Chain A
Amino acid sequence: MILKKSMIRTLKEKKFQYAGVSLLLLLAVTLYVSLSMAVTTLEERNARFTEDYKQETFHFVPSEPVDSSKLQEWEEEFDVTLEARSYYDADVDDSVLRVFSQTEEINLPYLSEGSNPTDGSEIAVSSVFAEKNDLHIGDEVEISGERMEVTGFVYLPDYIYMIEQLTDLISDAEKFGIAIASESVMDQWSSRSQTEITGWTSDGEVPDGFMEAVRAETTILQFVEAGDNPRIQFVDTEIEGAKSMNNTLPLFILALAAAMVLLLMRRRIEMQRKEIGTLLALGYRRNELLRHYLGYAWVIGLSGTVLGLAAGAGLSVPLSNLYANYFNLPALSMFDFNPMVLVIGLIIPLVLMLSLTAWGIHRALKVEPLTLLRPKEVTVGRKSWLERLPLLNKGSFIQRFRLRLLVRNKARSLYIFLGVMFSTVLLLFGFITFNSMDQLVETTYEDIMTYDYAVYYQSLQTEEPADGSDPFTVGEVNVKGQDAKLTGYGIETGTPYIHLLSDEEKLNSELKEGAVLSTPAAAVLGVGAGEDITLTNSLNDEEMTVQVAGVADVYIGSQIYLPREVFNEFLGYPGDAYSAVWQAEKPERGADVYQIEDKQKVIDSFEATSGATRSSVIGMAVFAVVISVIVLTLLTNLIVEENSPSISLFKVMGYHNSEVSKLVLSVYTPVVMLSYLISIPLAGLTLGQLMNSLVEQTGFILPTDVSLWMAATGFVVIMLTYALSIALSKRKLKQVSLQEALKKQQD
């Protein structure tokens, strides 16, 4: 159809408008495809690694060694595979390298490069640790005073998220890594190494009665199911979280693009009323014209989606590798093609564009050709109810003109409102996340946890702890009627090492009235101060109902704090028993010490990752600004085009460009400001809801308060963006000729 040429020329002439929409679409599709493909790859690698390398179903740490005959006996009784694995935490410069014995049944190591260590001076390290510490195959590394040669790079399926302590939040491969060594190496370190028993079942469940059988034999210091193990579980959480984010963010951008297409098409149809009327009068069928106008949606939709698909697919490879590095997953596959992602990435935007355009055009095509050929019924002079408000009839001509323009283009005002809101929320998400990391460290690790070290023992201690140490008991508890596990802490109410703060009020004394929960625990259980919860002991069937005395600003982990004697009684321990101590001085690693937690290392991990967080915040802010600039510029450009006869008339009358700009262009400033102000609490609320919905999987909650500096910085960014889009549209305003008004009169 010859009309196609008209469409191509219009697209070229209005390239900025249509390219802007296409760009929005491209961003939406690129984001969706790259993230979805990366997540598919991550999911596939995780599934294959878990299955092919026999990821553990559980592991436990006995207080006494369990001999192999006992393990065999349990294997037969409970139809479970069990394997003892020893490990040693070696200091390598400023880092900790956890060296494991090589296993043959469970948690099989995957060697990505090089060879397995075979003799007493060889070691294979995790590739990401090697990369961060500049280690290569063949290099020698000093471990606990001994020179060891790196023979290869290794991955372990139970250390996908490589954290030192189960309570750690951030993985920092520079500070903590894993390695495997031969039996002879492990024998050398046997006096200092720990042993854990790993278990695997075909159905992924801990066999009924297994824990009781083990407990009858020895005290269990720790029993962790794969589902509760963040080293294993966090990747699944990330996959689930990413899946929901993958859809939400692109959907918002897609909605903005679709709304823009609708606005543009309505404008095009409006401008071409006479053309449509002429074509209909000449004998063109309505469906032929529908097809013609749908061509715009096809071009915008196809260019945006196809380029978006290509860019998204390309971007998914480095993104997958970034994910894989972060999660310490081997590249079992390079690029996992998910045809559904491509289909959705192509079909949904196209269908949306086409159906919205068809809807918009259909309305115009329903009109009789004669009506289209006549000038549109003049609506100028008719006032909507908004314009009749006394407030809008006051002020100077300029003010009234601007207000009238504003209320007569409600759809555009709404579009600007939503566009600014989207960008603001995105921007503030970045700020809040950035600020939360600092606040989280400050509140949790500096204000609340004032100890420097936590020393966990292999067995219960009853003797008086050394001076400067404060005893506590730690154990896992279940909550009746809820599918949630909490880490219970039995503490001295007067301990100097834990200040259970809630909005700067100390809750330690409240422990006499009941239990204090961490913020994630309260969110998971959905309870607050004054409510009762019933705890059950996971090792026996004991029950205890306690009142929640308060919720502390502890943002990491699902913890419940109780007085030590109460918690001991619940666990069936002697009243003065304790399983760990907090202290300020660096402890010696004695034979009965199971684990030492160095708080500074945890803080260092946070700080080490703050660089990455800062980069992602900058990325998010840039993204928000780009979206905002596109949306605002497209709209202001459209306003200039639509009002070109008035602009021309103002110029003819002697108004300066700057005055005309004030009259027409900056009319949406109040909308931008209003949208920004409403978005501030919305961003905090949305992120808070998001955090709450993910807390069960992540185990932490970020404080989501919007501080003054965030609001001020966000305001400056958004207003600068608005100013930029106005400046871009001013060029178009200057180009409006003085004859425009006359031409319109002739029409």
Chain B
Amino acid sequence: MAIFAEKVTKTYQSGEVTVKALREASLTVPDKKIVTILGPSGSGKSTLLNVIGGIDRYDEGQIVVDGRTLDGLKDKQLTEYRRKNIGFIFQQYNLIPTLTVEENVEVGRELSSNPLPMEDTLKKVGMLDKKAKFPFQLSGGEQQRVAIARALIKNPNILLCDEPTGALDEDTGKNILKLLKYVNETYGTTVLIITHNQGIGEMAHQVIRMSSGEIVETFENETLVDPEQVTWS
């Protein structure tokens, strides 16, 4: 599912200070591709991800997902948009501590009219044998796998990943990237990854660089590096 953003602007008011988080950001995310948005803290990459995901609103410009604009959508319509199209993966996993692995994934499955099979999904993320464990019994990498399974089982068109490896060590982080690549290739899911880890850009079809709320560079990789081989920073 392709995403088009045109001159998107977003301003925050923090006390007496006005922060321009996005300044006329424009981009095109091609369907069924992996796109990484790179940039330092405060560059506006999370804000861009959030407005595309419909959990935040933009002030000006336009975002069109699969031919439908997000302009002026009401809360309920945004909820339906997220429910049907978006899978979210957070840096801190955000699993429900009182539910097991399988039940956490079930939380995502309930939202979909066309979910993937449970066993299959857990197998794909390598968590089938730990499906009865609770989040506190898992490592960070394992928790992120569960979070991916939770997003994936909905069979979403777009997977939005907010620093998915930010809290993980190199080996575990690379395993997660392999998983995201696998999801993209197997299910044709558009994957949008925001990260400050420059190396992750090497595995993406397209790389977008941001700075101070602006998109400063967009390029496509001619050759894709295997996630195992990305330069970890």
Contact = CB atoms under 8 A, between A and B. Distances in A.
A131 B42 CA distance: 87
B95 to A, nearest CB: 8
Contacts of A281: 53, 55, 82, 88
Most buried by A among B80, B87, B88: B88
Nearest to B108: A282
B116 interface: no
Contact of B111 (A274, A278, A283, A747): A283
B103 A280 contact: no
Interface string A250-283: 0000000000000000000000001101111111
Given A278-B94, A283-B111, A286-B79, A368 B56 contact: yes
A370 interface: yes
Nearest to A284: B111
Contacts of B26: none
Q: How large is the interface on B (under 10, 10 to 19, 20 to 34, 35 or more residues)?
A: 20 to 34
Nearest to B151: A282
Given A5-B103, A281-B53, A283-B84, A275 B94 contact: yes
Interface in B102-131: 103, 106-108, 110-111
Contacts of B53: 281
Nearest to B162: A373
Contacts of A286: 75, 79
B175 to A, nearest CB: 22
Interface stretch (A6-14, A138-146, A498-506, A662-670): A6-14
A366 to B, nearest CB: 9
Contacts of B204: none
Given A281-B82, A283-B83, A368 B98 contact: no
Most buried by A among B56, B94, B108: B94
B99 interface: yes
B86 interface: yes
A10 B86 contact: no
Contact of B55 (A5, A9, A280): A280
A282 B98 contact: no
Contacts of B80: 283
A282 B54 CA distance: 10
Interface in A706-747: 747
A130 to B, nearest CB: 62
A281 B50 CA distance: 9
A278 B90 contact: yes
A2 B150 contact: no
Given A274-B94, A368-B56, A370-B56, A283 B99 contact: no
Given A283-B82, A370-B56, A2 B99 contact: yes
B76 interface: yes
Interface in B31-86: 50, 53, 55-56, 75-76, 79-80, 82-84, 86
Contacts of A747: 92
Contact of B103 (A2, A282, A284): A2
A10 B82 CA distance: 27
Contacts of B92: 747
Most buried by B among A3, A277, A278, A368: A278
A742 to B, nearest CB: 14
A282 B106 contact: no
A466 interface: no
Contacts of A13: 98
B96 interface: yes
A644 to B, nearest CB: 15
Contacts of B90: 278, 373
B76 A275 contact: no
The interface residues of chain A, by DSSP majority, are classed as: helix
A286 B107 CA distance: 15
B171 to A, nearest CB: 21
Interface in A265-324: 274-275, 277-286
Given A6-B99, A368-B56, A369-B55, A282 B50 contact: no
B106 A2 contact: yes
B31 to A, nearest CB: 21
Interface in A1-44: 1-3, 5-6, 9-10, 13
A279 B55 CA distance: 11
B79 A285 contact: yes
A285 B53 CA distance: 15
Contact of A282 (B75, B76, B99, B107): B107
A6 B79 contact: no
B96 A282 contact: no
Contacts of B98: 5-6, 9-10, 13
B84 A275 contact: no
A282 B82 contact: yes
Given A282-B88, A283-B79, A3 B56 contact: no
Contacts of A284: 79, 83, 111
Interface in B139-192: 150-151, 154
A277 B94 CA distance: 9
A279 B79 contact: no
Most buried by B among A278, A280, A282, A369: A282
A9 B104 CA distance: 14
A275 B97 CA distance: 9
B56 A2 contact: no
A284 B80 CA distance: 8
Interface string A61-78: 000000000000000000
Contacts of A282: 82-83, 87-88, 107-108, 111, 150-151, 154
A370 B79 contact: no
B79 A3 contact: no
B96 A6 contact: yes
Nearest to B95: A278
Contact of B76 (A3, A279, A285): A285
Contacts of A3: 96, 107
Nearest to B109: A2
Most buried by B among A1, A13, A284, A747: A284
Interface string A103-140: 00000000000000000000000000000000000000
A5 B75 CA distance: 27
Contacts of A283: 79-80, 82-84, 86, 111, 154
A567 B24 CA distance: 102
Nearest to B160: A281
Nearest to A8: B98
B99 A368 contact: no
Contacts of A369: 55
Interface of B: 50, 53, 55-56, 75-76, 79-80, 82-84, 86-88, 90, 92, 94, 96, 98-99, 103, 106-108, 110-111, 150-151, 154
Interface of A: 1-3, 5-6, 9-10, 13, 274-275, 277-286, 368-370, 373, 747
5 contacts: A2-B107, A3-B107, A6-B103, A282-B151, A285-B76
Given A6-B96, A282-B108, A283-B154, 17 more contacts: A2-B99, A2-B107, A2-B110, A5-B99, A5-B103, A6-B98, A9-B99, A275-B94, A280-B55, A281-B55, A282-B111, A283-B86, A285-B76, A368-B56, A369-B55, A370-B55, A373-B55
Q: Which 5 A-B pairs have the closest CB atoms?
A: A283-B83, A278-B94, A9-B98, A283-B82, A2-B106
